[in-house]
C-alpha cells in the first residue's frame, strides 16, 4: 500500500489511463492464462478486440504477469476512449469460481492462487476466474461462429494443445462439476494398453493425442529409422501434420491414429452429454485439414457401421474454431461481463 | 370406447378399484420397462412399495403390457386405501420427455411409442416418461441410501445389465441432452481393439462389460478347453462371478478385466461430469463383491499411481445399490410425483 495515490484508489488503478477518463465505452479485459503464454485482450462492448498484450507465463508470480499484460493491453487504447469495467481470467486446472482461485494447474507451480482478488485490488475493477475451456465454451455458446448454431442448446469446446480438456454447456448452463473439475477428458482412457501419461496413468487421451504425444510419436518413427521427411527437421506436432499433408506415409499413419482417438473422444462427449455441436480449438488445430480430416474420416466410418452413431453423432457435429480467433480470451471477457451482470441490482419482479 | 362406463370416465379407469374409493393415500405407480421384464410398483406417499406386478416385456404391444401390470399392482391394495394420482414410466432408449414418447429402444421393436398419452387415457391419471437410468439417478439424488449423500449435488447412476447406460444429475438437475440421449456410456469406446458391439461399432463398453459380454467371455474360455468350473454348468454372467468368488482362476481373470473396464468408465464419468458419487446397479451388480471388488481394486491402483485420480476420484466414490431395492421403479415414481407437481398451479410470487 506504500504506493497508494492521493485519490484513495488502489495503486495500480490510479495508473490505469482508462479509469481516469470520461466514460464512453465499457471495456472488459479477457485474460487467457496458457501453459506457455499469457495473453490479455481488451474488448469493447461489441466484443471486438481493441488492445492485446502477451507475456511468458512464469512458473511463479503469475498474478504480476497477468497485471503487467493487462496494463499493456489497456495502454493501447487512447485516453478518453472509455473505461475498464471488469476483468475475466481463464486458466487451466481446477478453478474455484466462487472463491476466485486457481488450483491444481499442472503447468503452474503455485498450489492455490487467489488471483481474482489480487487482480481486482490491482486494477480497481471486479475480476472473475473460470476454467479456460469452459470460458471458451461459454463464448461459443453466446456467439457461435456459424449463425445456425444460435439454436443449439448443448455444446462443447474441445481444447487440444499441450493438454486436452473440454468445456461443456448444457441447456445454456456451463458444467463445472462439484469441485470445478468437470470436462477433464484429457485423462479419460483412450486405450487401456496405451503409453504412460504425465498424470501417472497410462493410455489417457492426452497421452495419445495431445501435442507432446504427437511429437513423441514422430520422434520415435525417426529414431526407429523409418523413411520419413520428419527426419529432415525438428519434429513437432505441426511438422507431423505438415508431412502428412505432403503425403508422407509415416506421418499420415500417425495423423490417422490421432484422428481415430479424437473421433472416439468426440463420440464420448456427444453420447455422454447429449451434445449437438463440438467445437475443436487449441494449438494442434492450427494444423488445419491434416488434423481434422482423419477425425472426420473415422467418424464417417463409425456412421457407416452404426445407426446409433448416424443418429446421435451426425455429420457436421464438429466445427473447427478458426485459428485467427481466440476463444479463450473471448471466453474470459464473457465471464467478466456475466460476473458484472450478477453484481448489479436486479429489476423488480 | 365400446366399453365406456356410464360414469363418463375412461374405460379402464372405471375398473381401477382405487379411483372409485374414498381418497386417503395419494399413490403413484412406478413402471420399470426392462429389456426382458416390465414391473409395476405402487408406492405410497412415504415412497414405500405397497403393490407389485411383473409381466414379460413383449416385442410388440408394450402399452397393453404396462397397463396390465399397472392394474395388477393396483389390485393388491384394498379398496378405500387411497387413490392413484399419477404414473411414471422409466424405459431404456431415447425418451421424448415432453412428448411422452419412447424412441429408439434397442430391445423394443416399436419405432416411436406415445406411451404416456395411451397409459394416461387408460388409467385416467397423468402419466410421464423418463429414461430408466435417469429416473433411477433422480431417485438416488432425492433419497440417497446413505444419509451422508444428502449433501451431494453431482451424482450418477450407472446401470449395468443386458445393456449399460448412465443417468446423471448435476446440481440437482437431470442431464437429458439435446435429444434425450445423454448418458449413453454403453457405446463409448472402452478398447479401440475390443470385440464387436451390437450397435455396429467395436470395443464399446457394452461389448466388454455388459452381462452378455461377460457370458460370451466365459463361454469362449470353456470352448477353448480352459480348465474352469464354468464347464460344469450353463455359463451366465452370474456363473462367471460365482466361479471367480470360489477361486476359479479363469473366471477371476474375466472378472478382473471387466472390473478394469468398469473402473475406467467410472473415472470417465467422474472426470467428465465432475461427480461426487457413482451409484452402480442393474442385473450384473447382483453378483455382489465378486463384481465390485475388481472395480475397486483397479481404482485403487489408479489412485496409487496418479495424484489427479487420488484427488478427483477418491476412495468411496462408488456405492452399490442394494439388490433388494428397485431404483428404476422408485425413479419412475419420482418422475410421476415431479410431473404432477409441475401441473399444479404455483403459489403467488
Nearest-CA distance B244 → chain A (Å) = 22
Spatial CB neighbours of B143, under 8 Å, sequence gap ≥ 6: B47, B330
- Residue A11: is its pLDDT beyond 70? no
- Residue A332: is its pLDDT beyond 80? yes
| Sign of the dihedral defined by the CA atoms of residues B217, B222, B226, B230, in that order | positive
Q: How many residues comprise chain B?
A: 349
Q: CA A275 to CA A333: how far, in whole Å? A: 24
Please report residues of B whose CB lies closer than 8 A to that of A207: none
pLDDT band at A10 (very low <50, low <70, confident <90, very high): very low
Residue B207 to residues A260, A272, B42, B160, B287, Cα–Cα distance (Å): 19, 17, 35, 12, 19
Please report residues of A whose CB lies closer than 8 A to that of B302: 201
Q: Give the pLDDT of residue B104.
A: 66
Interchain CB distance below 8 Å, B274 and A199: no
Strands A112-113 and A101-103, bridge-based pairing: antiparallel
Q: Among A183, A276, A306, select the one facing B178 at the smallest CB separation.
A: A276
Q: Give the pLDDT of residue A2.
A: 39
Please report residues of A whose CB lies closer than 8 A to that of B175: 170, 273-274
| Structure confidence by residue, pLDDT tens digits, A144-203 | 988 889 999 999 999 999 899 999 999 999 999 999 889 999 999 999 999 999 999 999
Q: Give the pLDDT of residue B112.
A: 86
- Residue A314: is its pLDDT beyond 90? yes
Q: Are A168 and A228 in contact (CB under 8 A)?
A: no
Please report residues of B whose CB lies closer than 8 A to that of A311: 104
Residue A199 to residues A71, A173, A244, B124, B290, Cα–Cα distance (Å): 35, 29, 29, 57, 29
Sheet containing B164-170: give its strands across: B173-174, B164-170, B154-160, B277-281, B318-320
Provide CATH 3.30.420.40 ranges for chain A. Answer: 11-132+327-343, 146-320
Which of A265-279, A333-347, B9-23, B258-272 is predicted least confidently?
Answer: B9-23
Please report residues of A whose CB lies closer than 8 A to that of B206: none
CATH topology of domain A11-132+327-343: Nucleotidyltransferase; domain 5 (3.30.420)
Q: Give the pLDDT of residue B145.
A: 86
Give the residue from A205, A206, A66 showing the smallest Cα distance to A122: A66
Where chain B has pLDDT below 50, the residues are 1-15, 17, 19-23
Q: Among A153, A191, A308, select the one facing B187 at the smallest CB separation.
A: A308
Q: Give the pLDDT of residue B108.
A: 61
Q: Give the pLDDT of residue A109.
A: 62
pTM: 0.91
Superfamily classification of domain B11-131 = ATPase, nucleotide binding domain (3.30.420.40)
Nearest-CA distance B47 → chain A (Å) = 28
Spatial CB neighbours of B20, under 8 Å, sequence gap ≥ 6: B14, B79
Interchain CB distance below 8 Å, A178 and B152: yes
Q: Give the pLDDT of residue A107.
A: 55
Q: Among B152, B199, B272, select the one facing A183 at the smallest CB separation.
A: B272
Q: CA A164 to CA A158: how far, in whole Å? A: 7
Interchain CB distance below 8 Å, B264 and A192: yes
Q: Write the DSSP string, A237-290.
A: HHHHHHHHHTT-HHHHHHHHHHHHHHHHHHHHHHHHHT-SEEEEESGGGGGTHH
- Residue A1: is its pLDDT beyond 60? no
| Structure confidence by residue, pLDDT tens digits, B115-170 | 999 999 999 999 999 999 999 999 999 999 888 899 999 999 999 998 999 999 99
Nearest-CA distance B185 → chain A (Å) = 6
Give the residue from B205, B200, B212 showing the smallest Cα distance to B185: B205
Q: Give the pLDDT of residue A216.
A: 97
Spatial CB neighbours of B36, under 8 Å, sequence gap ≥ 6: B56, B57, B162
Q: Give the pLDDT of residue B98.
A: 92
Interchain CB distance below 8 Å, A267 and B188: yes
Interchain CB distance below 8 Å, A275 and B180: no
Q: What percent of chain A has pLDDT over 90?
A: 76
Nearest-CA distance A136 → chain B (Å) = 17
How many other C-beta atoms are found inside a 10 Å radius of the C-beta of residue A122? 22
Nearest-CA distance A127 → chain B (Å) = 24
Q: What percent of chain A has pLDDT over 70?
A: 91
Please report residues of A whose CB lies closer than 8 A to that of B267: 187-189
Residue with cell 464387436: B196
Q: Give the pLDDT of residue A316.
A: 95
Count residue pairs from A and B with Cβ separation < 8 A.
Answer: 153
Q: Give the pLDDT of residue B105.
A: 61
Look at residue A5 and give its three-state secondary structure.
coil
Q: Are B16 and B29 in contact (CB under 8 A)?
A: no
Q: Which CATH number fits domain B146-320: 3.30.460.80, 3.40.50.720, 3.30.420.40, 3.40.50.1370?
A: 3.30.420.40
Please report residues of B whose CB lies closer than 8 A to that of A268: 188-189, 268, 272
Interchain CB distance below 8 Å, B178 and A271: no
Give the residue from A310, A286, A287, A289 showing the smallest Cα distance to A300: A310
- Residue A56: is its pLDDT beyond 90? yes
Q: CA B201 to CA B193: how far, in whole Å? A: 11
Nearest-CA distance A275 → chain B (Å) = 6
Provide CATH 3.30.420.40 ranges for chain B. Answer: 11-131, 146-320
Averaged pLDDT for residues A37-60: 93
Interchain CB distance below 8 Å, B309 and A192: no
Amino acid at each position: 500500500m506504500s504506493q497508494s495515490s492521493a485519490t484513495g484508489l488502489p495503486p495500480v488503478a490510479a495508473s490505469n489511463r482508462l479509469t481516469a477518463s470520461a466514460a464512453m465505452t465499457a471495456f472488459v479485459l479477457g485474460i487467457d492464462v496458457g501453459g506457455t503464454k499469457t495473453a490479455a485482450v481488451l474488448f469493447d462492448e461489441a466484443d471486438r478486440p481493441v488492445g492485446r498484450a502477451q507475456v511468458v507465463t512464469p512458473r511463479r508470480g503469475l498474478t504480476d504477469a497477468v497485471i503487467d499484460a493487462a496494463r499493456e493491453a489497456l495502454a493501447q487504447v487512447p485516453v478518453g476512449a472509455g473505461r475498464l469495467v471488469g476483468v475475466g481470467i481463464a486458466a487451466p486446472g481446477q478453478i474455484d469460481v466462487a472463491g476466485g482461485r486457481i488450483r491444481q494447474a499442472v503447468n503452474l507451480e503455485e498450489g492455490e492462487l487467489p488471483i481474482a482478488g489480487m487482480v481486482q485490488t490491482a486494477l480497481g475493477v471486479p475480476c472473475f476466474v473460470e476454467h479456460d475451456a469452459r470460458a471458451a465454451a461459454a463464448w461459443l455458446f453466446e456467439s457461435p461462429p456459424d449463425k445456425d448454431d444460435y439454436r443449439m442448446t448443448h455444446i462443447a469446446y474441445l481444447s487440444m494443445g499441450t493438454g486436452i480438456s473440454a468445456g461443456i454447456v448444457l441447456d445454456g448452463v456451463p458444467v463445472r462439476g462439484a469441485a470445478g473439475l468437470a470436462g477433464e477428458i484429457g485423462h479419460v482412457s483412450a486405450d487401456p494398453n496405451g503409453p504412460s501419461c504425465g498424470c501417472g496413468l497410462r493410455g489417457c487421451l492426452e497421452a495419445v493425442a495431445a501435442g507432446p504425444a504427437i511429437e513423441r510419436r514422430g520422434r520415435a518413427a525417426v529414431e526407429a529409422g523409418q523413411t520419413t521427411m520428419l527426419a529432415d527437421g525438428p519434429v513437432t506436432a505441426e511438422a507431423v501434420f505438415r508431412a502428412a499433408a505432403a503425403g508422407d506415409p509415416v506421418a499420415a499413419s500417425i495423423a490417422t491414429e490421432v484422428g481415430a482417438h479424437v473421433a472416439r473422444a468426440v463420440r464420448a462427449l456427444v453420447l455422454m452429454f447429449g451434445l449437438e455441436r463440438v467445437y475443436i480449438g487449441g494449438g494442434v488445430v492450427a494444423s488445419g485439414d491434416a488434423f481434422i480430416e482423419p477425425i472426420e474420416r473415422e467418424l464417417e466410418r463409425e456412421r457407416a457401421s452404426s445407426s446409433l452413431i448416424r443418429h446421435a453423432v451426425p455429420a457436421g457435429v464438429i466445427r473447427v474454431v478458426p485459428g485467427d480467433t481466440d476463444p479463450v480470451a473471448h471466453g474470459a471477457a464473457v465471464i467478466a461481463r456475466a460476473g458484472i451482470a450478477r453484481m448489479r441490482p436486479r429489476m423488480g419482479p
